Every structure is written in structure tokens, then in C-alpha cells.
Amino acid sequence: MLIKEFRVILPMSVEEYQVAQLWSVAEASKNETGGGEGIEVLINEPFNETTHIPQPELLSGDPRFTKGQYTYKIYHLINKVPRIVRYLAPKEALQLEEKAWNAYPYCRTVLTNPGYMKDKFFIKIESMHVQDDGTNENAHQLSPDLLSKREVVIIDIANDDLYAYSDYKADQDPKLFRSQKADRGPLTNKPWWKGCPGPLMCAYKLVICDFKWFGLQSQIEKTIMKQERRIFTNFHRMAFCWMDKWFGLTMEDIRAIEDKTKKELDEQLRDDVVRGTTQMD
């Protein structure tokens, strides 16, 4: 089992990020779906103490975390997983189930592969969004035992090396983008948040990965963590550079966009065009 806490610092408020994240998830999902691969949204509706109840530890007594939005998605994966997994697993097993409880500013996402790995694999991502510069040493209130096992990774969306040359897009480069609506950017310092005017927030993303397969566990867990870092880096570069598209939207706007996106994803899954990121072997 590997435990890493990715800290993504962003030039926005926690309230703005809620809209930015949801809008960008909807947009990025369309970019990653097509030709039978990508994301299928099965459920997107509210949860509370009686509906879509999450794991017991989420209902911690904190009233902020006992209600929110629940989503259930299927990820259809072929070219988006490591080559070694494609060789070892049957094609029909290359699906992940994602269950997420968004009790913002806390969110929990759990990915499993019940059709093949069953209880031998999971990825759990717990995100806490805080109005600070990434210096909270225990945003998730971890026990001393978990703190000793956790590795902290700071993600600089403007200056970190990208995973692959193909990940770079000039219109998604925070060093080049300036928001006309919010008057923010470009992010040119190293690190960019030192002396940055305006709001700063951090998405503390605690990732726990467990892959029980003798002889492959360590290699696969390291590969998954590398991919999570790639996803977090690319996604938040896009979210910032898309600021003028989501800035000023309301949560009512977001829910309407999500409904429309679900229909578009269903159509794209059925077409012949494969889109989006592939695993670089």
C-alpha cells in the first residue's frame, strides 16, 4: 500500500474552486471519452444520512460532511492503463468503478475493479480544500501512524515538468494565460505563489493505493501514483486556464451542464473516435 498527499496550490478562492472543479471535470470527461473508451455517468444526485450512504468514517459527526452530491461512474479503459496490465488482464476486465461523495470542501472518491480484481485493488482519494498556501501539515487529521507513512508532493501547475511532451498545450499553460474576467495570471514566478496577489487555496489530495498481486504490487502501485500526479497536474493546469469559461457560474448552472454532459458522454461512447490521454509505457 502506498500513501501520498498531493498538494495543489491554486490562485482562487475555495468557493470558486468548487465551480471550477465541477465545470472542468465535465469538460475533461468529454475530451477523454469516445470509441467505446472513457467515462459513463450512471448516477449523479444528492446524498445524505439515508441516501447513498458512504463508508462509516465519512459520517464523522461533522455536519459539513454528511450531505452533498453522489456520483457513480464507469471508466472504460483499454489504452489508458499500463501495458503490463493490458497483457495480464482480459479486455472485459479493463473497467473501473468510481463512487464519489462530494461534501465540499471535503470530497471522497473510491475507485475499484470489482469485475476482475475484486477486493485486491482500490484507490481512495480524499480531498480537503483549504484557503491557504499548502502549509497545513495535517489537513486530513491523520493518525501518527498514517502520517509516518505519508509522502507529501507539492504540485506547481506552472513550473512542474509534464509527464509527456504530448501533455503540453500552449492554451493550457499557466505561464502564458491571463484571465480577463478575474484579472489573474500569468503565473511566472518559481514557485508562482510566492508574492502572488489575490486569493490562494490548496487542494490537499490524499491518495491511498492498494494493489494486491504478488510480484507486481510495488511496480503497479508506483505506476498508479505516477499517473495520479499526471492527472492532478494536467487537470489543474486546465482548470486555471479555463477560468474565463467557468468564472461567474452558479451551482445551478453547473448541475445543468452536468446533465447535458451525461447525454454527450453517452453519445461519444457509441461513436468511433478514441479521445484523450493514453498510458505512456
Which residue reads 499557466 in cell numbers? 174
Q: For 2-262, CATH number?
A: 3.30.530.20
| DSSP per-residue codes, 96-162 | EEEEEEEETTEEEEEEEETTTTEEEEEEEEEEEEESSSS--TTTT---HHHHHH-EEEEE-TTTSPP
Q: How confident is the model at residue 195 (pLDDT cuts 50, 70, 90)?
A: confident
Over range 122-150, report the average pLDDT. Answer: 95
Task: Find which of 110-114, 116-120, 133-137, 275-279 is predicted with most confidence, using mean pLDDT.
Answer: 133-137
Over range 84-92, report the average pLDDT. Answer: 65
Each residue's pLDDT tens digit, 49-83: 889 887 655 544 565 678 899 999 999 876 656 66
Predicted pLDDT at 128: 96
SS3 (DSSP) at 32: coil
Lowest mean pLDDT among 60-64, 81-85, 131-135, 188-192: 60-64
Which residues have CB under 8 Å from 13's CB, separation 6+? 131, 199, 201
**Grid coordinates representing 231?**
492527472
Over range 194-204, report the average pLDDT. Answer: 93
How far, in Å, CA of 215 to CA of 76, rounded?
Answer: 26
Q: How confident is the model at residue 87 (pLDDT cuts 50, 70, 90)?
A: low
pLDDT at 280 over 50: no
Asked if 87 and 279 count as a contact pair (C-beta separation under 8 A), the reply is no
Over range 210-232, report the average pLDDT. Answer: 91
For the chain, what are the domain ranges?
2-262
pLDDT at 258 over 50: yes
pLDDT at 249 over 70: yes
SS3 (DSSP) at 268: helix
